[in-house]
Amino acid sequence: MTGLPAAVAPLRLADGDTLADLVTFLRRAQRADPSGAARLVAHGDVLAVYVAAVAGPGPLVLGLRTLALAEVSGADATLPLESLLSALEGATDVTLALPSGGPSTATARPAGAGWAGVTPPRRGWEPVGALDPELLAERAAAGIAQVATGTPPGAGAAAVAALRGRVWGAPLVAALPDLPAGTAFAVQVLGFADPTAPAAVYRCGPWWRVTTSRGHVLARRPVLGPPLVAGPSPG
């Protein structure tokens, strides 16, 4: 595959379907953030792919999709979505060559991908409850509309980011005031919505996880700042 820097850590995906799955996920992430990045972390024969649905002022909300690898790997790299998609789209080779420099060094990360230096917990999650898929869809639609109508013509990037932080940092439901509404946005925009089953909710310290059959959303509220307007109760 071309379009990426000099490689030192190859990743061999399980098959062509896995490659197509990765491309679809990255395309959805790019719709949420056209200038965004993805962090690819291999744990043995499993590849964890993290993207940011909400980052900046307000909460940190990440999407996580896990994919099968054909070979054990320890690769860890953060790359611009545009570069990754250019290398992957239309490819038939399921081997992806990653560049040197993992997310542990800020200078190795693409601009705006400071979130990649934060690693959500892999263990220690405690079940909290479940959320109705209709509730998630309603909260996502309401937040998107609020951002669209609350952004005046000519508003600068900082003003838009601040508004997004307020909207997506508000509590998703009144019963869980620390669970940010941005999780609902991530579930919808990343294609994780499963209308046939409730989404499971877990917590580990300051982190939240909303899990469906199609992926995981990991979220952490801002360290400072009180909760905003609460949403409806969990379904």
User: Under 8 Å CB-to-CB from 128, ≥6 apart: which residues?
Assistant: 176, 201, 202, 203, 208
pLDDT per residue over 42-85, tens digit each?
999 999 999 999 997 889 999 999 999 999 988 888 999 998 99
Dihedral sign from CA coordinates of 14, 19, 24, 26 = positive
Q: Which amino acid is residue 155, in one-letter code?
A: A
User: Under 8 Å CB-to-CB from 25, ≥6 apart: which residues?
Assistant: 49, 51, 63, 65, 190, 191, 215
Q: What is the average pLDDT score of the chain? A: 86
pLDDT per residue over 30-45, tens digit each?
998 999 999 999 999 9
Question: Could you tell me where the DSSP H helices lie in 89-211?
Answer: 133-150, 157-169, 182-189
pLDDT per residue over 158-205, tens digit each?
888 899 999 999 999 999 999 999 999 999 999 999 999 999 999 999
User: Under 8 Å CB-to-CB from 160, ≥6 apart: which residues?
Assistant: 147, 151
What is the biggest distance separating any 2 CA atoms in the chain, rounded to whole angstroms?
50
* Domain limits, the chain: 7-106, 126-220
Closest CA to 162 of 234, 96, 82, 225: 225
pTM of the model: 0.87
Q: Which amino acid is residue 7, in one-letter code?
A: A
Q: CATH number of 7-106: 3.30.200.190, 3.40.50.2300, 1.10.3860.10, 3.10.150.10? A: 3.10.150.10
